[in-house]
Structure 1
């Protein structure tokens, strides 16, 4: 039946397709989004063939037939996909939470709604209707899957493949509706994961051109498309009961309980079709799901955690530049936030202000960094403007401000990206900052007064007396189909601070160059892609003293069962800890160590619902706690397993061991287990367990350390999402740890919570 409908649609639309392949038809009728193609609707739509494999191969004929149908009614864009499959039993599709089905069979499209080759919305759907959406940013070459639009989809597996229907309200997109006939670049796609994962497209893609958005074909029409006021009011209610107690001295204190009921309100208003205002009052900015566990046992720099909160994620790509100058997880507990974003005729503007009940500041250095947290309010502001002069040149400026009592940090930056040819890209950015740390900040850093402070690099950076700093970044890349070459240079002054961003290292300059060569297989080869990569870099501090010199190379190959193997070696000369921490000098104050490391990464997806990965590393590494060379072994297996369509197990374990002078220094184990039962595309129940176990050989340390540290965090979470903004969460979480003062893991925190929000679209 479905095949007959498809043939009927093809026959009825063939003439229109031949006459105007880039015109999106207007129909007054709205399709019923249920995964069933209705001939009386879709026969009038534009037909698009998805028949060209663009990855891992370059423009080969597709082994499967896929057709897309598209039209609009002035309010929404409607798309249907008819994906034929010679073996429907092999279709990979599972019930998952939104944005977690990227490894399944998928169909979808990319839309550059401004037709300026700077960014593209991505909408993908698996055969069961599970949605994935993101924004691809050409400036930063990143894809932000945290962006969530409100749109509708339905999927259905059939005897001949699967069918997906989609409705994307035009209010989800940013576009200029003052133009009568609108032109948008679009690419229609199918991902076909079997022995290989094929990216099948409606267009040809030249791999020598690193800008994929630039190559997307143009579609015009949408004459009556208007975005309207697009006002959304989203009231929220958060309730929780948190119990905490002090267990630092080995004798647990009594539990202290606190009950909270917090109403809040989010508002999103499209003031014009190009300008959006977001506001939030009394928001709950705590994230619902626990971060992935990370080890930091032999790391002197602060760990990075991504943003997951809706207010900051909306149009977050508007704030992006070549350096991370705006990292909104620095703002932890605001009472309010206001954000304005706009994109019109090549001009992009974004700005927000928010207060914070706390002040979290990252103090960077050249050998390490630290975070200072103060229980006092702060005001935060970020501004970003970018002009896309043409598809080859973009220029942007960024400004941020943080203020708390007599502490302040201000940053100003200008950046540019220029593509003189399809194969060449030049990026540059200049940064200037002014920072003033007040006495209360210094006292908090020292855990008392400066006179009683243990002097270290962070203290010296704060008390250096320099308030202005400069930095710049230059990068050039030449890319061909089979090879690319690149070089970069960056420099950051001792006093450069980007307290609204995530910049862990200053007082250095770094020169890098490298290259890559690629091989492409075909159906005769057991592999489909291979590459060899190498680079060399050298870093000095502001006084010209060597910090690090490194050369590395690796070889990677994609093979059967969606396998990927990557192995390499690196040789690095780097400085160790300072002998006298009261001096910032490197020469005659540090030792220069040689690190030689071999590593490998392997992954494969042998069948539907199975992923296995293994990360291995061994070699000599600097023991940062004792300023010497040790032998490190690192192993990280990852297994994701679906048991049926609804139940998923995710397991990730990290093992790290360091030996020095013939004896163990430490052994660290971290396990992250997530068990999820996905009832349907809207709701799930998830149990997360994160367990850390670190054992140290006290006799092989220069300073006193705990012989053992264990911790365990658990979270049970129920989620129901009608859409990304109409959600209900309920859960329980706790945390406990054990050190030398405790005989067993003892809980120090327990929380029961519930969160509800509902989106009214006016």
Structure 2
């Protein structure tokens, strides 16, 4: 009897698929699958089979309405993953030809990989049914996703009568992982995004919404015993050329065009010294902005605008430099001749550092009521160092150091940060930092546009000429998170003298306390809505001397509904200081007026069918008129429309309208229109026209100081792009810029250029 049972059990085991026997073991198969979006290679029958059948958002662990299977194996040099995504209505599949990283709203399948199995970060690889790639790095420390990161990997997708199929190959050279021998453990999640009336996040795992750390919940997969980087050197030569014409326009007269032609060769080298340590070097790199930044309107704003980093050298392993505060913002380095970067992660020790020079010196001068940017045509040296120790999955700490120096100017910053999660619901964060800064006379000359003796003193000038060179700051944060509610509190303080010139911190000389919470409701498939949230917080800020800067309370209610709709209503009540009456004194009390601001806003978003996105932000408030130091009535409207016509053509439209009235008369009205038309020939190439138009009208009779009644500007860019991969690219285009003020009767061009870029990645 026992023998018969044993034989029957053995027969049952032999009949079971490989995935049932080795649930979390990634098989090693020498053969490389052909990446064509068909899954017709025999090798897929030997791969580990994984069901993607659990809806984790907006619902918590409900059965998927569609069937999806993933298959995975490795051959020591690459991970091979295939997805078979069934769909009862293939004609409803949302898929368009787009540039990489622009198809996040489409049907998607993909994989998340925590390659160090330390719950600190995860690579994300997603593909739409036509093979368009999206990749990013999710950072658990900062709760952010860096979509600017680009890896070189292969994918293909096909739509069929049963749904769609996607195949991908991820070379192990793309990943950083442990350099240990034998089996390696990585956490992985296999995903499908199913956007119809709702956008369902369908996963291979269960996800507990009470735990805000999603990476921590990813299941473990073992394998990769023979994993190696194979080709561990990438050499990317670059050639950039441009022909530029510029001219000055003064008092309504255009001066002659000044022509300049430039051809610049460059070289980037990436060497994976080991699977967990990478060296990057660049000589005469191309750090030009190929694609125009999205237009931003800054009419009634006293702080510097933020622009994201887009350049490959700085983006590679940029999450290794992250901390709770933005102490390293590499876009401050605008025109380097060289750069060297070393990054690595070994047994819970993460280290990163870079040095780079810069032909320019751009420095933010922060204050407590505003900031200014000083831009000097002189060389500087820049260095950043970062170390993080992950003691365990509950506790980690880090050290950061940055240096910027140029002639007699220098800024040095040192920081300590820590993160502690005693339970899955509780989080403590801490960051301490100090700086030592020495400005020189050129900073004063730039801000004054003359000598200090003839200068109109402003906060920025006073901050630069302050004798106090050293400052300290700190940040404390606590959160308690449950499935239905969250409570949080934070406190941060920055001395008047603290500076983070390598980072992006625009406000100093303040301390701020914040307390708040939120409550969440979860719908079911029987409800017309699927998710709702109430949020509220209260905060108060003082300067270093204990003088009130701002006190605010705000609350909002949001709900997700049909047609992928999202509606958010909010109100805000704030008391804040206006501008200083006497700019020669930093003091707040007796030198400013305290204003009461009230505002209401609404944001609506809708994705009713494939290829259509509509959004609208409306707000009505009384705000401080910063140009005239009084309270005014502000109206703000921003519609956004993204429209696909067919599989290849896309229109993106965004318009910002802002109007202020004060004392019964207009102060200003501002319009900014950003239009982008793209024809995507295939997944590799596109032609794009970008138009950014600004139109600002002011009422000079309602201003204290003299202002232009009219300012208009128009920027256009026509760009052709071909990308074999993120580092083998060809760009060619034309751009121009013109403006109009009171001295001009129409927009006159002051800049026009033709540009070209070519780079090729040799993988060795």
TM-score by length of 2: 0.98
1:107 and 1:125 in contact (8 A); partners too:
yes
Paired position in structure 1 for 2:314: 312
> Cα offset for 1:228?
3.5
Q: 1:371 is matched with which residue?
A: 373
Where do 1:168-179 residues align within 5 Å?
168-179=170-181
Separation in structure 1 between the aligned mates of residue 335 and residue 329 of structure 2, nearest angstrom: 14
User: What is the correspondence of 1:335-734 to structure 2 with a 5 Å cutoff?
Assistant: 335-734=337-736
Q: SS of the residue aligned with 2:313?
A: helix
Do residues 59 (structure 1) and 66 (structure 2) align?
no
Map of 2:223 onto structure 1: 221
Please say if residues 599 and 618 of structure 1, whose CA atoms lie closer than 8 Å, have aligned partners that are also in contact.
Answer: yes
Deviation by residue 1:413-432 (Cα, 9 ceiling, x = unmatched): 00001100000011010010
- Structure 1: stretches of 5+ with no match in the other structure: 1-10
Selected match of 1:125 from 121, 124, 127: 127
Q: What residue is the counterpart of 1:38 in the other structure?
A: 40
2:326–2:504 Cα contact (<8 Å) kept: yes
- Structure 1 residue aligned with 2:101, among 99, 102, 106? 99
Aligned to 1:108: 110
Question: How far, CA to CA, are the matches of 1:41 and 1:401 in structure 2?
Answer: 52
**CA displacement, residues 625-661 of structure 1 (integer Å, 9 cap, x when unaligned):** 0000000000000000000000000000000000000
Structure 1 pair 240–213 and aligned structure 2 pair: CA distance change class (3 A)? same
Cα shift at 1:249: 2.2
**Deviation at 1:248?**
2.7
Q: Is the 8 A contact 1:417 1:426 kept in 2?
A: yes
Distance 1:242 1:211 in 2: 49
- Distance in 1 (alpha carbons) for counterparts of 2:711 and 2:756: 31
1:272, CA displacement in angstroms?
1.7
Cα pair 1:177 1:225 within 8 Å, conserved? no
User: SS at the partner of 1:636?
Assistant: strand
C-alpha distance after superposition, 1:578-603 (max 9, x if no partner): 00000000001000000000001000
- The farther-off stretch of 33-42 and 360-369 is 33-42
- Give deviations 1:22-71, integer Å, cap 9, x for gaps: 00001111100001112511110000000000000000000000000000
What secondary structure does 2:743 align onto?
coil
After TM superposition, list the pairs within 5 Å mapping 1:78-89 onto structure 2.
Answer: 78-89=80-91
Instruction: Tell me the distance in 2 between the aligned counterparts of 1:319 and 1:32.
Output: 37
Over residues 658-677 of structure 1, what are the superposed CA-to-partner deviations in whole Å (9 max), with x where a residue is unaligned?
00001000000000000000
- CA distances 1:657-708 after superposition (whole Å, capped 9, x unpaired): 0000010000000000000000000000000000000000010000000000
1:12, 1:43 within 8 Å by CA — same for their partners in 2? no
**Paired residues of 1:236 and 1:265 also in contact (CA < 8 A):** yes
Q: Is the 8 A contact 2:34 2:41 kept in 1?
A: no
In the alignment, structure 2 segments of 5+ residues that lack a partner are 1-12
For residues 705 and 308 of structure 1, the distance between their equivalents in structure 2, rounded to whole angstroms, comes to: 35
SS in 1 for 2:238: strand
Rounded to whole Å, the distance in 1 between the matches of 2:279 and 2:154 is 24
Query: d(CA) in 1 for partners of 2:106 and 2:443?
Result: 50
1:324 is aligned, of 313, 323, 326, to: 326
Shift of 1:179: 2.7
What is aligned with 2:167?
Answer: 165
In 1, Cα distance between the equivalents of 2:448 and 2:663?
33
2: CA distance between counterparts of 1:67 and 1:245?
A: 60
1:523 Cα deviation after fit: 1.0
Return closer, same or farther for 1:541/1:12 CA change in 2, 3 Å cut-off.
Answer: farther
Is the Cα–Cα contact under 8 Å of residues 33 and 41 in structure 2 kept in the other structure?
Answer: no
CA–CA separation in structure 2 for the residues paired with 1:223 and 1:19: 19
Distance in 2, matches of 1:722 and 1:645, equals 20
Give 3-state SS (helix, strand or coil) of 2:421's partner.
Answer: strand
Q: 8 Å contact 2:119–2:393 — kept in the other structure?
A: yes
On the 8 A contact 1:13/1:46 being kept in 2, the answer is no
Is 1:200 the counterpart of 2:207? The answer is: no
Indicate the SS of the match to 1:722.
strand
Q: Secondary structure at the match of 2:103?
A: coil
Contact 1:13/1:43 (8 A) holds in 2? no
Other structure's SS at 1:17 match = helix
The residue number in structure 2 matching 1:239 is: 241
Q: 1:84 to 1:462 in 2, by over 3 A?
A: same
Return the alpha-carbon distance in structure 2 between the equivalents of residues 181 and 500 of structure 1: 40
1:63-113 Cα offsets, whole Å, 9 max, x none, are: 000000000011100001000001000000000000000000000000000
Deviation at 1:448, TM superposition (A): 1.9
Asked if the contact 1:647–1:678 (Cα under 8 Å) also holds between the matched residues in 2, the reply is yes
How far apart, in 2, do the equivalents of 1:706 and 1:183 lie?
Answer: 64
Separation (CA, whole Å) in 2 of partners of 1:298 and 1:457: 17
SS in 1 for 2:443: helix
Spell out, residue by residue over 1:256-283, the C-alpha distance to the aligned partner (whole angstroms, 9 max, x if none): 0000010010000011221111111011
CA contact (8 A) 1:129 1:153 kept: yes
Alpha-carbon distance in structure 1 between the residues aligned to 2:677 and 2:44? 41
In terms of mean alpha carbon deviation, does 401-410 or 437-446 score higher? 437-446
Q: Distance in 1 between matches of 2:364 and 2:535?
A: 33
Q: Distance in 1 between matches of 2:193 and 2:720?
A: 30
Distance 1:429 1:401, change over 3 A: same
Q: Any idea what the Cα deviations from partners look like across 1:340-385, whole Å, max 9, x if unmatched?
A: 1111111111111111111100000000000001111000000111
Task: Give the alignment's Cα RMSD to 1 decimal.
Answer: 0.9
Matched, 1:749 2:739: no
Please give the per-residue CA displacement for 1:508-552, whole angstroms capped at 9, x wherever unaligned. Answer: 000000000000000110000000000000000000000000000
SS in 2 for 1:400: strand
**Hey, what's the Cα distance between the residues in 1 that align with 2:214 and 2:252?**
58
Tell me: CA distance 1:314–1:590, structure 2 relative to 1, closer, same or farther (3 Å): same
Match of 1:37, SS state, is coil
**Aligned pair count?**
752
Question: Secondary structure in 2 aligned to 1:421?
Answer: coil
State the alpha-carbon separation in 1 of the partners of residues 177 and 331 from structure 2: 29
Tell me how far 1:12 sits from its aligned partner: 10
Give the equivalent residue in structure 1 for 2:21: 19
Q: Residues 366, 12 of structure 1: CA spacing in aligned structure 2 closer, same or farther, 3 A cutoff?
A: farther
Q: Is the 8 A contact 1:229 1:272 kept in 2?
A: no
Contact residue 522 and residue 528 of structure 1 kept, 8 A: yes
Q: Separation in 2 of the partners of 1:680 and 1:179?
A: 42
Instruction: Give the structure-1-normalised TM-score.
Output: 0.98
Per the TM alignment, residue 229 of structure 1 is displaced from its structure 2 partner at its CA by 5.3
Q: Given that residues 229 and 271 in structure 1 are in contact (C-alpha distance below 8 angstroms), is that contact kept between their aligned partners in structure 2? A: no
Query: Does the C-alpha gap of structure 1 residues 13 and 182 become closer, same or farther in structure 2, counting only changes over 3 Å?
Result: farther
Structure 1 stretches of at least 4 aligned residues deviating more than 4 Å after TM superposition: 11-14
Residues 12 and 375 of structure 1: CA distance in aligned 2, closer, same or farther (over 3 Å) = farther
Hey, what's the Cα distance between the residues in 1 that align with 2:155 and 2:655?
36
Contact 1:331 1:356 in 2 (8 A): yes
SS in 2 for 1:754: strand
Alpha-carbon distance in 2 for matches of 1:627, 1:261: 49
Which of 190, 193, 199 is the aligned partner of 1:191? 193
